[in-house]
Amino acid sequence: MGMEQPAWQQQGMLGSDMERLMVTMQAVEQACSGLQEPNNRAAAEATLLAFRRSSHPVQACQYILEHSHLATARFQAAATMQEAAVREWTLLSAEDKNSLRTYCLHYVMARAEAGEPFVQSKVLAVAAVLLKRGWLDSVATEKESFFNEVRVAVLGTHGPAAQRSGIALLESLVSEFSPSTASAMGLPAEFHEHCRASLELDYLQQFYSWAQDAAVSSAERAFQGVGTPLDVNVCSAALHLMSQILNWEFQGTLVRGPNGSIVVGKNRSNAFTSSMGRESIKRPGEHASVVQPGPAWHDTLLPPNRVGWVLELYARIRQGGLGGSGWIDSPFAVNARQLIVQLCSLSGSIFPVDGNTTQDLHLQRLMSGISPWLDPPEHIVRAIKSGTSESEFLDGCRALVAVASLTSPSAFDQLLRGGPRPVGTLNLLASLTCEIIKASGAQNNEEETWTGEALDILLDSWTVLLQPVDLSKRIPFPPNGIDAAAAVFHAYVETHVKAAAASAHEEGDDTEQLRAAIAARDEHLSAIALVARAAPSATVPLLAMLISERCTWLPQCTGGRVDPTSVLEELHWLLLMSGHVLADSGDGETPLVPESLSALSPGTADPVNHPAVLLSQASIDLARQSLETSIREVFSPRLMEAVVWFFGRWVDTYLMPADAGRGPNSTPSSNEGELPGQIASNTGQFDGRNSLVVAFGEEGGGKAVLETLVRVAVTALTAWPGERTLQEIVCFQFLPALVRRRNICAHLVTMEAWQELAHAFAYQQPTLSALAAPIQRALSEALCKSAAGMSSGDATNQYVKDLLGPITGSITGLSKREDFQTFAQQPDVILQVSCLMERLRGAARATLPRSQKAIFEVGAAVMEPLLILLQTYKHQSSVVYLLLKYVVDWVDGQVAFLEAKETAILFHFCVRLLEIYSAHNIGKVSVSKSMNLISESQTEKYKDLRVLLQLLTNLSSKDLIDFACDLNGEVENPDVAQVVYLGLHIITPLMSVDLLKYPKLCRQYFTLLAHMLEVYPEKVAKLSTEGFGRIVGTLDFGLRHQDVEVVNMSLTALNAVAFYHYHAVCRGQEGLGAHALSTPGPDGAPKEGVLAHFLRSVMQFLLFEDYSNELVEPAADALLPLILCNTGLYQKLAQELLEGQKNAILQSRLATAFHVLLNSNNVSSSLDRNNRRRFRENLYLFLSDVRGFLRTR
């Protein structure tokens, strides 16, 4: 169409209205077909958009709807009509609105049998939008008569076609009124909220009943064969509507006020985050969402005959095979099942408080209907394997997990006892799980299939039963449940050991190494471990036996006599499984022995027979074999990875437990002076806890085990050169676990194996120096941490000095070489320097209060050499980065402890470091042939900046946390602010908005900024206009950031600045001075001062933007001083908002709210703590009152 006027506007050129409409229709039709061809798409889209935006298109739309042969054109017409009606709503007369709505309904009814479904539903959506738009204006009688018509249609008076349309209309209504699926109307959030509440309170239940009635009657006709084929469709649609209604986000807090209006229960949490488009909140890993309509729904949903009817209906679908051979996946069956699963998820106040009787009966009823989908398991699984659809089975599993999450284990177990085939539900769950495990084992080469999904759902059921979120529901498992769990675990182990052996010769799978894959595997193993822990006396010995058995095979494989590969893979899997069963991952904390294991008694007087001891011992024996050179050749790197992983996890929980012998709730003093071994011998009885203490405690076998483990660690680190994954697990997981607790360290430092390691490390023996640099860092950290085990502070410091002395010697020696400038560039020297830096950094990260002195001395000794290195390696960004990282960690460990003199040394060093760095990096442009390398150098720069920011943040923390005991006070403490501002001065030119897009860097920058502005605002005031402008610019950026933390810190910074200014002005000082004043901008118009500017931004932010609730408090703290600094502007802004509000009621509400904000609750114009608190409360009230109608959608 080019630049011509759109056809529907060429009114003057055409004779009659009819012709005009014809032309419009042709244009739209042409555009609709144009959409299909890539060449014409842009033009076609432009035409359609113009049509949508044209004024008064309704007549044309109706013409197209009635006359066009092109379904897509009719669809576009309906969409246009919807948009236009919302846009031009206020221009339409009441009659227009009514007739438009009626038109839509009649249109659909008239074409109920023939129209394309997507056009039909679009037209119905239009009707729903029209209805909602006028919802709050229309009077009750009007709605009543309208819904009467709908009811008549839904109940089938006008035949099945009209019935189906009626149901579809209700579906559109429900979806339009539900906030997450509502269409935008440019109206306040409060409007949407009221519509939702009104529908929930007055209509939803009626809709449900109508749908149910329609379903009952149409199903009856369908089964008796007296109706039309449409009846099945009607019934299916009605079921779908019912399940859609149950999906509604029930609020349950709605109350009708005294004057008949609905009081929307508003709490603080929903006043600020818009509920639009919010996803329903699901608990992780759960396959059924909870349905919680209020008590009012009791009579609609719970009567036995109603539930019974749905179940019976589905049973008849199953038998009669309505829907042909594929009945199982026909919409009819799917909708019925969906509804049944939702009925299983009912919970909350819909059930009367009667000790769960009603709920249990309800669930029993449902379970007896569902059990044929799942029982007998072997049968059903076999059928699915031979081609039956799995969807019914999966829905059954979903119902099971829904029920499991609502009941206690014993109640769950009882649900099927009264049925025709009395069986414990737990037993059913167990045999289902076993069948699925077997089925999944049989087809492990295929892609993820239904068995995977089913297993996930079933394991979820076990998890919710064994570990309910509500801990009060955690009551003992019935005995048959324990046996069932044991059976499931046996099946699982059997299948997976077999699968491991079968897959042992496969190519190593790279994806297995990905973090996501490992996390998914761990999650799966944790779930199954939970099952194993439910029956520990059966499951744990099984694992122990399987490991010991294979352990004895290994020596037979030496010398290449037998291929050990499948045994290795089996052991690998068994170790992973055992690690999950025996212990939880602590993430740095010390996890306790799982309750069911520690409560377990070994049954005999010999503690060695405790299952957990057996399994641990079997694993230790396996690990010990790796120490023997002759057998070691059999151990693959992969098996060793599993070994060290296992012990990294095991050590935290079992080795020399700190609370040995004490009950979980006893106070620390209750067993003081009593040795764990004595407890055992005193009582003469071993329960689980002291069996473990005897086996692995400090006084028991713990020391011997520790010695073995240290040797295993050293072997793993050195005997498989180049196996980085293995070395990483040793240094990042295993060694840190060994040195985590001081009582273990005390044994470590006296142990020969550990001392040998320390010696080899200190004197840079080749085996350890060949390790990758980060590994050396972790090793250094672990060794330095073990110093905590020394008996005195002096001994600790000496230990660290001995460890690091040779290293500082090497660095100093290097830097003093005459030919260092050229020599240093050799790759092997670069490598050596990198490793030394990493070693120092590891040591710095391990700084303890007791070893701080030694680490400071080490650091002080290398200060000069480091500056030389920084200068020499100015082109080796990787070395520079490592060097800076070391300084950051060193400062971090030291800064809190230093006295004035040492602080001065440290600050002086940091300033020189910053100067050298910036001298080499400011204004440098580097280029390269390859885009790839350019982006690499960009990343390097970003990483450097992050490190520098970290350094400044660490330095500035000196003012906050200062443990130094400076008694004489002769030396003046160097001014931290001075140092950090110098640093900022150096860094800000390197910083750009592009770099601030890196999340970590951004956070760091704003942390530092907020801190500096809070503590030293007077220094900011003295900045140059340019420097100040730069900071303001970044704050502007920070306020609009996505990250809540960043916005929070920006607000804190604003608060600090405004606070400072207000106080200064009150005292008659100049505060921010020129920065706060408005200045003439470049174009002559005055540029407002920063505080005024930020008052505007914060108001805008609070009133109109989406933000998290937790930001209101910092925003209130920033807003109050900003208002106090700019009362004039504040009044002006409030006035503007009031004038912009056309609706008189809302205007007066807004005026009151503004008045309350600054006047109620005794808010005064001071900035003391109490006043700020009162203002915060006022702001909460203000926002929850006003945002509802100010924000629109």
Q: x/- contact string, 9-48, with other proteins (CB under 8 A)?
A: ----------------------------------------
| Paired tokens of 142 | 């009007």
# binding residues, other proteins (CB under 8 A) = 59
Q: Of 791 and 825, which has the nearer Cβ to other proteins?
A: 825
CB of 827 to other proteins, least distance (A): 4
* Residue 262 DSSP class: E
Prior bond of 303 cis (ω within 30°) = no
CB of 1062 to other proteins, least distance (A): 43
813 binds other proteins (CB under 8 A): yes
CB of 826 to other proteins, least distance (A): 6
CA distance 948 to 184: 47
Site for other proteins in 825-864 (CB under 8 A): 825-829, 831-832
CB of 928 to other proteins, least distance (A): 7
515 binds other proteins (CB under 8 A): no
The pairing of beta strand 262-263 with beta strand 1079-1080: unpaired
Element (H, E) at 887: helix 877-894
Sign (positive or negative) of CA dihedral 453, 456, 459, 465:
negative
If DSSP codes are grouped into helix, strand and coil, which group holds residue 287? coil
User: Binding other proteins by CB under 8 A: which of 508, 684, 1068, 1082?
Assistant: 508
Q: Of 655 and 730, which has the nearer Cβ to other proteins?
A: 730
936 binds other proteins (CB under 8 A): yes
1184 binds other proteins (CB under 8 A): no
Q: Of 163 and 877, which has the nearer Cβ to other proteins?
A: 877
CA distance 226 to 218: 10
Closest residue by Cα to residue 872 from 920, 922, 803: 920
Segment interacting with other proteins (CB under 8 A) among 109-117, 153-161, 497-505, 836-844: 497-505
| Paired tokens of 774 | 């980060």
User: Binding other proteins by CB under 8 A: which of 323, 637, 677, 1027?
Assistant: 637
Alpha carbon 891 to its chain's center: 33
CA distance 902 to 912: 16
User: Binding other proteins by CB under 8 A: which of 425, 810, 847, 1126?
Assistant: 810
Q: Of 304 and 989, which has the nearer Cβ to other proteins?
A: 989
Site for other proteins in 670-729 (CB under 8 A): 720-725
Q: Of 106 and 505, which has the nearer Cβ to other proteins?
A: 505
CA distance 882 to 896: 23
The pairing of beta strand 1086-1087 with beta strand 1079-1080: antiparallel
CB of 625 to other proteins, least distance (A): 16
User: Binding other proteins by CB under 8 A: which of 819, 1026, 1083, 1139?
Assistant: 819
If DSSP codes are grouped into helix, strand and coil, which group holds residue 1080? strand
Q: Of 833 and 1064, which has the nearer Cβ to other proteins?
A: 833
Q: Of 354 and 819, which has the nearer Cβ to other proteins?
A: 819
| Paired tokens of 114 | 């023939």
User: Binding other proteins by CB under 8 A: which of 875, 901, 997, 1022?
Assistant: 875
CB of 577 to other proteins, least distance (A): 17
Q: Of 639 and 692, which has the nearer Cβ to other proteins?
A: 639
If DSSP codes are grouped into helix, strand and coil, which group holds residue 446? coil
CA distance 370 to 373: 6
Q: Of 835 and 844, which has the nearer Cβ to other proteins?
A: 835
1083 binds other proteins (CB under 8 A): no
Please say whether the beta carbons of 914 and 870 come within 8 A.
Answer: no
* Other CB atoms within 10 A of residue 190 CB: 19
* Residue 255 DSSP class: E
The angle that helices 1044-1066 and 999-1015 make with each other, rounded to 10 degrees, is 20
Residue type, 484: A
Closest residue by Cα to residue 1040 from 1110, 1119, 1106, 994: 1106
CB of 515 to other proteins, least distance (A): 14
Beta bridge partners, 851, equal none
Q: Of 323 and 805, which has the nearer Cβ to other proteins?
A: 805
933 binds other proteins (CB under 8 A): yes
Element (H, E) at 263: strand 262-263
User: Binding other proteins by CB under 8 A: which of 823, 908, 1018, 1159?
Assistant: 823
CA distance 982 to 177: 58
Segment interacting with other proteins (CB under 8 A) among 426-434, 532-540, 759-767, 1151-1159: 759-767
CB of 873 to other proteins, least distance (A): 10
* Residue 474 DSSP class: -
CB of 509 to other proteins, least distance (A): 8
Please say whether the beta carbons of 855 and 847 come within 8 A.
Answer: yes
Site for other proteins in 896-925 (CB under 8 A): 923-925
Beta bridge partners, 1047, equal none
| Paired tokens of 8 | 């529907």
Beta bridge partners, 262, equal 256
CA distance 143 to 157: 20
Segment interacting with other proteins (CB under 8 A) among 130-138, 163-171, 815-823, 839-847: 815-823
* Other CB atoms within 10 A of residue 1011 CB: 21
User: Binding other proteins by CB under 8 A: which of 507, 672, 972, 1026?
Assistant: 507
Q: Of 541 and 805, which has the nearer Cβ to other proteins?
A: 805
Q: x/- contact string, 192-221, with other proteins (CB under 8 A)?
A: ------------------------------
CB of 710 to other proteins, least distance (A): 23
Site for other proteins in 767-806 (CB under 8 A): 770-773, 806
Range 842-852 burial, b when 16+ CB lie within 10 A, else e: bbbbbbbebbb
| Cα distances (Å, whole numbers) of residue 605 to 611, 635, 693, 941 | 13, 36, 14, 65
CB of 490 to other proteins, least distance (A): 25
506 binds other proteins (CB under 8 A): yes
Segment interacting with other proteins (CB under 8 A) among 7-15, 821-829, 1000-1008, 1118-1126: 821-829
Please say whether the beta carbons of 180 and 280 come within 8 A.
Answer: yes
CB of 825 to other proteins, least distance (A): 5
Please say whether the beta carbons of 1046 and 997 come within 8 A.
Answer: no
756 binds other proteins (CB under 8 A): no
User: Binding other proteins by CB under 8 A: which of 932, 968, 1042, 1162?
Assistant: 932
Residue 790, φ and ψ in degrees, nearest 5: -70, 155
User: Binding other proteins by CB under 8 A: which of 3, 140, 516, 927?
Assistant: 927
| Paired tokens of 239 | 């079921």
CA distance 867 to 875: 14
Segment interacting with other proteins (CB under 8 A) among 256-264, 704-712, 931-939, 1042-1050: 931-939
Site for other proteins in 551-590 (CB under 8 A): 565, 568-569
CB of 778 to other proteins, least distance (A): 14
CB of 722 to other proteins, least distance (A): 3
> Rule CB under 8 A: which residues touch other proteins?
503-510, 513, 565, 568-569, 636-639, 720-725, 763-766, 770-773, 806, 809-810, 813, 819, 822-823, 825-829, 831-832, 875, 877-878, 923-930, 932-933, 936, 940
